[in-house]
Amino acid sequence: MIAVGASWGGLKALRAVAHGLPSHFRVPITFVQHRSKESAALRDLLQDCTSLIVCEVEDKQPIMGGYIYLAPPDYHLLVDGDAFSLSVDEPVRYSRPSIDVFFESVAERFGPEAVGVVLTGANEDGAAGLRQIAARGGQAIVQDPRTAESPIMPRSALRAVPSALSLPLERMTPYLISLATDAENARPRRASGGDEVRA
Amino acid sequence: MAVQIEPGSKDRGIEASKAVEVATPTVADITAAAETSAHGYDPNLERIEIQLLLEGIYRHYGFDFRAYAYASLRRRIWKRIDSDHLRTISALQDRVLHDSAMMERLLLDLSINVTAMFRDPGFYAAFRRDVVPALRTYPFIRIWHAGCSTGEEAYSMAILLEEEDLYDRARIYATDINEVVIQKAKEGIFPLDRMQEYTQNYLRAGGTRSFSEYYTAMYDGALFAPRLMRNIVFSQHNLVTDRSFAECNVILCRNVLIYFDRNLQQRVHKLFYESLPMYGYLALGSKESLRFTGFEDNYEAVDRREKIYRKIQ
């Protein structure tokens, strides 16, 4: 699972990430973007620039490859087994969806098969969650703050996870594709194999 | 605020209910929560300990959280552990089983949700447009609001029905697992500082009057007109263990089932299905779906976006 968090300036950055993903990309990827309750257009704006299916998550929706999942506004997004689940618990640091809440649940569920990506934003959401992904052996990636529309969120993520890989936006998608290819190649050698949803 | 716990009532479970606003945790609390669950906890051990905790609570107090959605439950449990400066889930279990005051606090953590009057105004607008015309043709209208919390949305529905001249022949059965929130709902007093937000919601929901006509501002709260209460029956009901109590034309259950796992959701959907007559309406939260419940074919979408469905077979 690739978990991507974005806030201020996120639309442009998420479009850039989505745009470069090939139609055969099979790792589930999820965008958590801070936005107002009423904003319904984000899904369409993202769909316009990718051949993968962009899907605003509904409760208990199974996680599958070939999709870009989008956290719905005004809910927290979590993963539960092989499906998503939602909650209307209080906002965390004024945000619902909270990137930290999603990343934490991805870390718990996917461990070393989780990839966390923190993009542009004007708050500190995502830093604690990214630390958890790293602590459980997952991969931490942060947009190079110098290339971010708002560098605050990437900077705080890098402070929380100094070992995170910092990449300019244009290198983000090629890197994710190479990760997915590596995971694909490594799969047959894994002892546990099976039907599990994998990163 | 305290919850009455009856250690004897083994058959009593608890559902996710929507309720009074709890104090918002500080950033420090949240960071602390993140730290604790991040470091040094084996995910498998965590799962075992949570299962033991839930089993213990069920067998000792009778509240059944065992079929709750794990990810949300886990977050809420860690929040309680961190607010009480404990270190492990087992330590929480020790406290909960030997100290009923601790159980009361955990019960509030696990069963409380945020609610608002005319929450999701688009839903109420759609209800007015798509459901009310059918309700006009009924001699008597029964509405079941499952998981009503402190009652904000039940009062909202009463206001809507009054404005549509239907309230005299309507009854709203508003239920929640949590006795504390039911008592609160019966008072009909809501925080004054939220009236501005509720007024906005009311207008966007298609309200036809001035929202301030419905309440009297008091010292620290807004007291809603007693006439709105006259056809609402608030009562305690447990979706996990209790059965249907009446056939209802409309069932509202919004953002409650998201806290249940898939099996429990299916059981509750069966209960709803059996409680609705043919062409009865079911309304869910805006990101809840019938798609993953096994009941999709039994309903048609009346408003797909606002998740209003009608039973067709």
- The DSSP string of chain B is ------TT-TT--------SPPPPPPHHHHHHHHHHHHSS--HHHHHHHHHHHHHHHHHHH----TTB-HHHHHHHHHHHHHHTT---HHHHHHHHHH-HHHHHHHHHHHH-----TTSSHHHHHHIIIIIHHHHTT-SSEEEEEES-TTSHHHHHHHHHHHHTT-GGGEEEEEEES-HHHHHHHHHTEEEGGGHHHHHHHHHHTT--S-GGGGEEE-SSEEEEPHHHHTTEEEEE--TTT----S--SEEEE-SSGGGB-HHHHHHHHHHHHHHSPTT-EEEE-TT--STTTT-GGGEEEEETTTTEEEE--
Three-state SS sequence of B127-155: HHHHHHHHHCCCCCEEEEEECCCCCHHHH
Mutate to test the interface with B, among A37, A42, A59 (most CBs of B within 10 A): A59
**To the nearest whole angstrom, how far is the Cα of A24 from the nearest Cα of chain B?**
26
Give first-to-last CA distance, chain A, whole Å: 4
Q: What is the pLDDT of residue B35?
A: 46
Has A178 been annotated as catalytic?
A: no
Has A59 been annotated as catalytic?
A: no
B288, A58 contact by CB (below 8 A): yes
CB contact under 8 A, B71 and A75: no
Q: What is the mean pLDDT of chain A?
A: 92
pLDDT < 50 regions, chain B: 1-39
Identify the structural domains of chain A with CATH numbers, from first to last: 2-181 (3.40.50.180)
- Check CB contact of A183 with chain B, cutoff 8 Å: no
- Check CB contact of A58 with chain B, cutoff 8 Å: yes
B310: Cα separation from own chain's centroid? 21
ipTM of the complex: 0.87
Is the previous residue joined to A97 through a cis bond, with omega within 30 degrees of 0? yes
Average pLDDT over residues A17-21: 94
CB contact under 8 A, B34 and A129: yes
Which is more confident, A42 or B246? A42
- Check CB contact of A92 with chain B, cutoff 8 Å: yes
Whole-model pTM: value is 0.87
The token pair at B20 is: 């009074």
Q: What is the pLDDT of residue B43?
A: 83
- Check CB contact of A82 with chain B, cutoff 8 Å: no
**For B287, which of A72, A83, A93 is closest by C-beta distance?**
A72
- Check CB contact of A136 with chain B, cutoff 8 Å: yes
Mode of pairing for the β-strands spanning B250-253 and B281-284: parallel
Residue in chain A lying closest to B27 (CA): A93
- Measure the CA–CA gap between A180 and A198, rounded to whole angstroms: 10
Average pLDDT over residues A92-109: 95
**For A60, which of B76, B265, B285 is closest by C-beta distance?**
B265
Q: What is the pLDDT of residue A186?
A: 77
CA nearest to B51, candidates B43, B241, B99, A63: B43
B19, A90 contact by CB (below 8 A): no
Instruction: Please state the domain extents for chain B.
Output: 27-111, 121-311
Has A34 been annotated as catalytic?
A: yes
pLDDT tens for A174-190 read 999 999 988 888 765 54
**For A89, which of B70, B72, B257 is closest by C-beta distance?**
B72
Residue A129 pLDDT greater than 80, yes or no: yes
Chain A residues with CB under 8 Å of B76 CB are 89
CA nearest to A116, candidates A130, A97, A137, A132: A130
Which amino acid type is present at position B297? D
- The CATH number that domain B121-311 falls under is 3.40.50.150
Average pLDDT over residues A83-96: 94
Q: What is the pLDDT of residue B114?
A: 76
**For A90, which of B70, B114, B288 is closest by C-beta distance?**
B114
Which is more confident, B250 or A197? B250
Which is more confident, B292 or A123? A123
Q: What is the pLDDT of residue B40?
A: 64
- Measure the CA–CA gap between B280 and B286, rounded to whole angstroms: 19
Q: What is the pLDDT of residue B129?
A: 97
Name the active-site residue from A7, A98, A105, A150. Answer: A7
- Check CB contact of A172 with chain B, cutoff 8 Å: no
